[in-house]
Amino acid sequence: MLEPIVTVVNLRIAFEVDNEPVEVDDDGSSLLDVLRGPLGRRAPKDGCSPQGQCGCCTVLVDGAPRVACVTPARRVAGRRITTLEGLPADERQRWAEAFVATGASQCGFCTPGIITRLSCLDADAPVERALSAHLCRCTGWRTILDAWDLFHGSPPARVAGSRDLDAAGRRATIEGGTTQRVAVDVALGRGGFAEDTCPPDALVAVPDDEGGWVLGETLAEARARAGKVQGRRSTLDLRHPIEVPEGDWALTLRTTWVEPAYLETDASWCVPGGEPATPLANGGAFGAKISSPAPATARRLADETGRPVRVVLSREDTVRLGPKRPPIAAGIRADGTGVVRVVRTPGIVQAVTSVAPGLVVEEIDTPGPPTSIDLRGAGWVEAAVLLAGLTGEQPVTVRSPAGATATAAVEPDGRVRLRVGCGAPLDEVVLRSYCIGAAHMALGWVRSEGMAVDEQGVVHDLTIRSFGVLRAVDTPLIELEIVDESGPAVSGSDAVFAAVAAAAWIADGLGPTWPTSRS
């Protein structure tokens, strides 16, 4: 009896990308996989790997916006795909200049997807609602709305030739805590991200969830070998892991674990014997990537394999492995003395007592994700908020350890009024962007942000939308006055973060647990 003949047919998918006909293998990949892989398009970014929740990979399919990470490539057969790079050159330039002129782009990771969506909207469209498909952790949304208005102004927006973008970059570096550029190409997503600059022949390494790393020729292969399963949002309630110490307190506060939620997940690459690419690229991730495992792992694996190696953390990996803001439980008396219990974190005692020497800090060992003092203002901001809460009055003024002063008030209509002095402004557009972004983060921290962690310390919230980051439609107007001071420039956004957090807490009635809207 003859054996049956088995024929393997390698199916191909044909479609158009940025006015160019292309073909790729039909191997089950997502549209984002093929755009960033064999087609080499770097404008769409992978921020949620893939959850379809951050908007960074937004492209146009036959003129309509779609997130590419959850779109199977086979579904776009015969269709027209437009990435940011496929927009008309003049239109793309105008959008980028509007974003630079208003401070609507900082690291530049989320902006290609946002610009792509904005490009297909009518001038009178409800833009805040359209932005609900996106997340931006840096700018606080208001500057993006300013860019929208500027783009649709008459005459079209152009970056003022007299503006010193080198000075703008220096201010961004001070605020972001790492070297940053301010430029049109950054707004177009060309900030030098490790995932955009890695050699095409690099092996890919991903965590295996057991403390090791799995290698593959492609990202899809590495994730398949690691047995990666897409994470979900938990149905668990938020848990406050530490009890307030007993005492006759004027005020108490309990917080939970908070995810930094930076959009560019950790990545690095290295050639054998070389220096690894930084996972920071054009943004500081609010201090959360300082201890990233990606660079050292890329260097070690490149030396071991004798090939370039690219290390990529998925959204779930960054949530499980990355540092969180340490939870606290505090009681404070009217005279500023009291006790702060906090998840054990190196450096946290000094951070708290540097601002509130009357507070005794007790470090508590409790199961949970890693925490770090490197996150924005960790420790000293909580201390400043507790002291400000004792007055129960707005506006709130906070002076940061760096020497910046911020005054904030949250009005009954939700509007935030801010005043900041932080030495020479260097560039008011960039300073405004960072301060509005810090205000946005503070409002979310007090009112909506947190992550579900069970009693064994296992994180259950693994999607970026589960962390409570404020959307554009939820972000109030933020009015900012910048004081032009003499003296060296220092970071102003951390002082703003503290002042707005205190003002929001007071406005919400000084409830004993954060986030106030989920208590």
Residues 6+ apart with CB under 8 A from 85: 18, 41, 43, 92
What distance in Å separates the CA atoms of residue 341 and residue 349, rounded to the nearest whole number? 10
Residue 100 lies in a domain: yes
Q: Within 13 Å, how many C-alpha atoms sit on residue 231's CB side?
A: 22
- Residue 2: predicted pLDDT: 44
Burial 6-30 (b: 16+ CB within 10 A, else e): eeeeeeebebbbbeeebebebeebb
Mean pLDDT on 301-330: 96
Tell me the Cα Rg of the chain: 24
- 300 with 390, same domain? no
Residue 248 lies in a domain: no
Residues 6+ apart with CB under 8 A from 425: 171, 431, 482, 484, 489
- 401 with 463, same domain? yes
Residue 299 lies in a domain: yes
CB atoms near residue 210 (< 10 Å):
8
Q: Taking a C-beta distance cutoff of 8 angstroms, is the pair 323, 214 a contact?
A: no
Residue range 136-170, pLDDT digits in tens: 999 999 999 999 999 998 665 555 557 899 999 99
| Secondary structure letter of residue 181 according to DSSP | -
Residue 254 lies in a domain: no
- 116 with 79, same domain? no
Residue 239 lies in a domain: no
Q: Are β-strands 309-312 and 267-270 bridged in parallel, bridged antiparallel, or unpaired?
A: antiparallel
**In the chain, % of residues over pLDDT 90:** 89
Mean pLDDT on 253-274: 97
What's the longest Cα–Cα distance across the chain?
95
Res. 235: pLDDT tops 90:
no
- Residue 320: predicted pLDDT: 92
Residue range 7-60, pLDDT digits in tens: 444 689 999 999 999 999 998 899 999 999 999 999 999 999 788 999 999 999
- 92 with 175, same domain? yes
What distance in Å separates the CA atoms of residue 442 and residue 438, rounded to the nearest whole number? 6
Residues 6+ apart with CB under 8 A from 491: 174, 175, 177, 400, 402, 404, 422
- 177 with 289, same domain? no
Residue range 466-509, pLDDT digits in tens: 999 999 999 999 999 999 998 999 999 999 999 999 999 999 99
- 332 with 416, same domain? yes
CATH no. for residue 28? 3.10.20.30
Residue range 430-472, pLDDT digits in tens: 999 999 999 999 999 999 999 999 999 999 999 999 999 999 9
Residue 510 lies in a domain: yes
CA angle 383, 386, 390 (to 5 degrees): 145
Using CA atoms, how far residue 350 sits from 248, 355, 359, 498, in Å, is 25, 9, 11, 17
- 298 with 344, same domain? no
Residues 6+ apart with CB under 8 A from 464: 47, 48, 51, 53, 54, 135, 261, 263, 315
- Residue 232: predicted pLDDT: 72
Sequence letter at residue 217: E
Residues 6+ apart with CB under 8 A from 120: 60, 63, 64, 65
Angle between helices 380-391 and 493-507 in degrees, nearest 10: 40
Residue 261 lies in a domain: no
- Residue 6: predicted pLDDT: 40
- 202 with 157, same domain? no
Domain end marker among 27, 61, 85: 85
CATH no. for residue 478? 3.30.365.10
pLDDT band at 233 (very low <50, low <70, confident <90, very high): confident
Q: What is the mean pLDDT of the chain?
A: 94
What distance in Å separates the CA atoms of residue 134 and residue 53, rounded to the nearest whole number? 7
What region, left, alpha or beta, does residue 41 occupy, with left being phi > 0 and alpha being psi -120 to 50 degrees?
beta
Residue 259 lies in a domain: no
- 436 with 484, same domain? yes
- Domain residues for the domain of 17 are 12-85
- Residue 158: predicted pLDDT: 58
CATH no. for residue 95? 1.10.150.120
- 348 with 438, same domain? yes
What distance in Å separates the CA atoms of residue 257 and residue 492, rounded to the nearest whole number? 25
Of the candidate ranges 155-169, 210-224, 379-393, 411-425, the one whose mean pLDDT is the lowest:
155-169
Bridge partner residues of 61 (DSSP): 64, 81
- 503 with 425, same domain? yes
- 60 with 205, same domain? no
- Residue 8: predicted pLDDT: 40
Number of domains making up the chain: 4
Domain end marker among 38, 55, 85: 85
Domain end marker among 280, 311, 342: 311
SS3 helix, strand, coil % of the chain, rounded to 5? 35, 20, 50
- Entry pTM: 0.95
